[in-house]
Structure 1
Amino acid sequence: MRTWKASTAAAPWNGLEALPVLIGEIGGTGFGTTLLQALAPALPAASWSLYRVGASVAPALLASASHGVPDCTRQCWHAYLSGPYERDSSLRGQGGSTDAGSQLLHHARADDMPAEHQRLVYEPHGMAERLSIVEWGRQGDELLALNLYRHTHQPRLSDRHIRSFETLAPALLALARKHAALAAPRPAPAGDEVLAQRLLARAPGLTERELAVCLRLLRGMTHDGVAADLDLRPPTVKTYRNRAFQRLGIHFRNELFALVAADAGADTY
């Protein structure tokens, strides 16, 4: 596994002529496969994904597609949420900057991943390598990742392939982010009543206060914000949170997001 800083000073990419076609597909249903077709002269990738994860946000698959193979990207995402997500540090690198807006590049092979990640995500879907560009969000607690996946039927990524990705990665991330913003609207996030039902289905013993704290955490509120909203002291909020998390069998806020997302059976809650 390798991690390095994204650069805007790389050499010209030999597939740059495909960019106008890709730009023309932004927001449309053909963007995902067009992206992979545009990249084909420069590097082998049969699937890609754009997702946002982090301690303070709900995990969300924003865009994805496959080309030349059955599209398994959503199955991969749900498999990722089922376990590997909670323990995945593969995109965080070693000592790289997590300042807002900073970008890192990653290259990993399937056998670089923990056994669970390989077993649930890579092996069942024939994925062998991943190239990623990651951009850090506010306070370094969330990241936006664009990932390209080489499948087992494709040639291994060479240094030339990786250099090609390095050159275009920042532009690809910008295009994919714009596409996700313009694409057809996704279902609105579930309201408090639906989220409360999901949490109570998991832990019927949740008290009214414990449930109220969890719902506000799911809205992205800080502990101080929850305390002000419920007219409680911050230490009391943390006590309710800890009790609720114990009943739910979780330890961290990102697990709470993953819990309701998995129960929804959708890409976002």
Structure 2
Amino acid sequence: MPSTWTLDAPTAGHAVPAAVVQGLLEVASAPLSAARLLRAIQQVVPVQYLSLVAFQRHTPELIEGSSRDTHGRDVVAECFAIYRRSYFRSDSVMRIADRVAERPAREVAVLHCRADELPVAGWRDDIYVRERLTERFTLLHAPAPGAVQAIHLYRDDRQGFFQPSEIAQLLALAPLLRQAHHASLQVGAVVTDRQAQVAQAERRLSRLAPVLSPRERAVCARIACGLSADGIAGDLDVAPSTVVTLRKRAYLKLAEAGLPAHRLGLARWLV
């Protein structure tokens, strides 16, 4: 039978290596990335594949997958398509997801399932045997009420089965992974909101200040949305000195047209 746990704090007696802490901080400080999350976990336990899944209306949706190796094919997406088409209703993770949806966001549920424990032979043959997978380790949590997400970790026969010590390490890490995952989702939401604000500011500038070039407009829109010169440079993939030059040109044109030509004025005018 698959093993399950419910945790709300790191397991006592298991120190988290500094490299893992650094990796989780990188996960937490940027929009959600399966590859970044996989790299952090690899510091503790070897894992071949990682998939990020959300549960929408009792149906799993693949957010993103990542592999330890570079393949010519997307194994995670291929396997998820088979799973979604034929087998997810037989997965005990669906029942756990329903339960997690009703629990406080700080909790994380964990499911460990070996290939030979899968309840449907076709599921085992079509995915696990085909891709030589040995087992799955799943962490589920609800970053918002009713919104459940899962981190699935897969081993293959090159890595063998999770050893008891490795399972203990993953259980100790699970609450920290949840925190990093949750934080990265929040960062992604902020970035998405900022992108929408920038797009709106650019549209208004295009209409109200047609004298600006497209690059000057892009810089002014981001100034209005609170980005620094370095932040704008990173966003537009240009040098900070280029941003400063474009800003000077744009401010001169705006001032000549009697329009706001400073950060606060742009913010009030456009956002």
TM-score by length of 1: 0.57
Q: Secondary structure at the residue paired with 1:92?
A: helix
Q: Deviations over 1:244-268 (max 9, x none)?
A: xxxxxxxxxxxxxxxxxxxxxxxxx
Higher relative contact order (CA 8 A, sep 6+): 1
| Structure 2: unaligned runs, 5 residues or longer | 193-271
Q: Secondary structure at the residue paired with 1:59?
A: strand
Q: Which amino acid aligns with 2:138?
A: S
Q: How far apart are the structure 2 equivalents of 1:17 and 1:165?
A: 15
Q: Secondary structure at the residue paired with 1:68?
A: coil
Name the stretch that deviates more: 169-178 or 38-47.
169-178
Q: Which amino acid aligns with 1:92?
A: R
Does the C-alpha gap of structure 1 residues 32 and 53 become closer, same or farther in structure 2, counting only changes over 3 Å? closer
**Aligned residue for 1:89?**
92
Q: Secondary structure at the residue paired with 1:107?
A: strand
Q: How far apart are the structure 1 equivalents of 2:5 and 2:85?
A: 29
**Equivalent residues of 1:91, 1:134 under 8 A apart:** no
Matches within 5 A, 1:211-226: none
1:108 aligns with 2:113: yes
1:120 aligns with 2:126: yes
Q: How far apart are the structure 2 equivalents of 1:134 and 1:21?
A: 20
Going by fraction, where is helix more abundant, 1 or 2?
Answer: 2
**Higher gyration radius (CA):** 2
1:160 aligns with one of 165, 171, 174: 165
Q: How far apart are the structure 1 equivalents of 2:75 and 2:184?
A: 20
Q: How far apart are the structure 2 equivalents of 1:86 and 1:14?
A: 35
> Could you tell me how far 1:152 is from its partner in structure 2?
1.4
Does the C-alpha gap of structure 1 residues 46 and 53 become closer, same or farther in structure 2, counting only changes over 3 Å? same
Q: How far apart are the structure 1 equivalents of 2:132 and 2:31?
A: 27
Q: Secondary structure at the residue paired with 2:92?
A: coil
**Aligned residue for 2:176?**
171
**Aligned residue for 1:129?**
135
**Equivalent residues of 2:7, 2:175 under 8 A apart:** yes
1:65 aligns with 2:66: yes
1:8 aligns with 2:3: no
1:150 aligns with one of 140, 149, 155: 155
Q: Secondary structure at the residue paired with 1:125?
A: coil
**Equivalent residues of 1:91, 1:106 under 8 A apart:** no
Q: How far apart are the structure 1 equivalents of 2:160 and 2:9?
A: 27
Identity of aligned residues (%): 20
Q: Which amino acid aligns with 1:157?
A: F
Does the C-alpha gap of structure 1 residues 57 and 4 become closer, same or farther in structure 2, counting only changes over 3 Å? closer
**Aligned residue for 1:43?**
45
Q: Deviations over 1:123-143 (max 9, x none)?
A: 222221111111258887x63
Q: Which amino acid aligns with 1:38?
A: A
Q: How many residues align?
A: 182
Q: Which amino acid aligns with 2:169?
A: S
Q: Secondary structure at the residue paired with 1:146?
A: strand
> Could you tell me how far 1:52 is from its partner in structure 2?
1.5
**Equivalent residues of 2:133, 2:155 under 8 A apart:** yes
> Could you tell me how far 1:161 is from its partner in structure 2?
0.4
Q: How far apart are the structure 2 equivalents of 1:27 and 1:16?
A: 19
| Structure 1: unaligned runs, 5 residues or longer | 186-269
> Could you tell me how far 1:169 is from its partner in structure 2?
1.2
Q: How far apart are the structure 2 equivalents of 1:116 and 1:13?
A: 40
Q: How far apart are the structure 2 equivalents of 1:80 and 1:127?
A: 14
Does the C-alpha gap of structure 1 residues 91 and 85 become closer, same or farther in structure 2, counting only changes over 3 Å? closer
Give the 4+ runs in structure 1 shifted more than 6 A.
137-140
Q: Secondary structure at the residue paired with 1:100?
A: coil
Q: How far apart are the structure 1 equivalents of 2:78 and 2:30?
A: 22
**Equivalent residues of 1:100, 1:137 under 8 A apart:** no
1:18 aligns with 2:20: yes
